[in-house]
């Protein structure tokens, strides 16, 4: 069955968070470890905020996570460095396989949507700077739900927007926890496991596991045709 819409996570799926290392290199002794810790805490704060009912937007959580990463690693940041690092999230590069996939899906008549933890303004800036904004039909932010993924209210933004059942949406994400969250909601999920991470051991598994968005394009041609 051809899905009604293809939905994509943004950061880490279409956009390459590793490109933050170049900015972190100017301040952190180990840029790779610094960015990894920053990202880990950013996601942890989104989980914690949703569980506690203390919602703040993703830009705020990114700032809190940066302060934690700096303190944890003994990295001293002045206000200008802090601002430059936080703003770098709005200028991360797109993966080389992102634009070709989006273009192919849209040419095949499948709407492409981003569902992101990011703010509407932050996501819009990131997509524009990455050069792929025009390849998307809509960008949905968790701000409309007041909660973060993998809360079901976030995935419901898609089904409400398109008036569809969950199984009519294909969701593509690089995050294992996001893949299980969307699968639990009932979406057809393609986990883009770029780094060869082990599969999640809790929650429903994704329908497909691929290693790149190129494989998603092949999957679409083979299984998502009318």
Catalytic machinery residues: 9
Calpha distance 32→36 (Å, rounded): 6
Contacts of 114 (CB under 8 A, 6+ apart): 7, 8, 9, 10, 14, 123, 127, 136, 138, 139, 140
Starting at the edge strand found earlier in the chain, the sheet holding 112-116 runs 138-141, 112-116, 5-8, 169-173, 188-192, 208-210
Helix (H, G, I), strand (E, B) or coil at 112: strand
Identify whether 150 is preceded by a cis peptide bond (ω within 30 of 0): yes
Residue among 144, 124, 142, 143 at smallest CA distance from 134: 124
């Amino acid at each position: 069955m051809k899905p009604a819409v293809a939905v994509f996570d943004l950061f880490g799926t279409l956009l390459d968070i590793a490109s933050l290392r170049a900015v972190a290199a100017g301040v952190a002794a180990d840029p790779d470890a610094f960015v990894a810790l920053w990202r880990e805490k950013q996601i942890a704060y989104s989980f914690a905020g949703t569980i506690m009912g203390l919602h703040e937007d993703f830009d705020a959580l990114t700032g809190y996570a940066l302060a934690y990463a700096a303190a944890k690693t003994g990295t001293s940041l002045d206000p200008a460095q802090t601002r430059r690092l936080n703003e770098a999230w709005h200028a991360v590069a797109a993966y080389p396989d992102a634009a070709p996939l989006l273009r192919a899906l849209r040419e095949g008549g499948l709407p492409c949507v981003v569902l992101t933890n990011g703010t509407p303004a932050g996501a819009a800036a990131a997509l524009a700077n990455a050069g792929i904004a025009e390849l998307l039909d809509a960008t949905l932010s968790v701000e409309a739900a007041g909660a973060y993924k993998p809360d079901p209210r976030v995935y419901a933004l898609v089904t409400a927007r398109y008036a569809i059942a969950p199984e009519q949406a294909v969701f593509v994400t690089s995050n294992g926890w996001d893949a299980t969250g969307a699968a639990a909601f009932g979406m057809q999920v393609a986990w883009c496991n770029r780094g060869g991470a082990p599969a999640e051991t809790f929650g429903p598994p994704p329908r497909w596991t691929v290693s790149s968005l190129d494989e998603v394009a092949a999957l679409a041609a083979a299984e998502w045709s009318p």
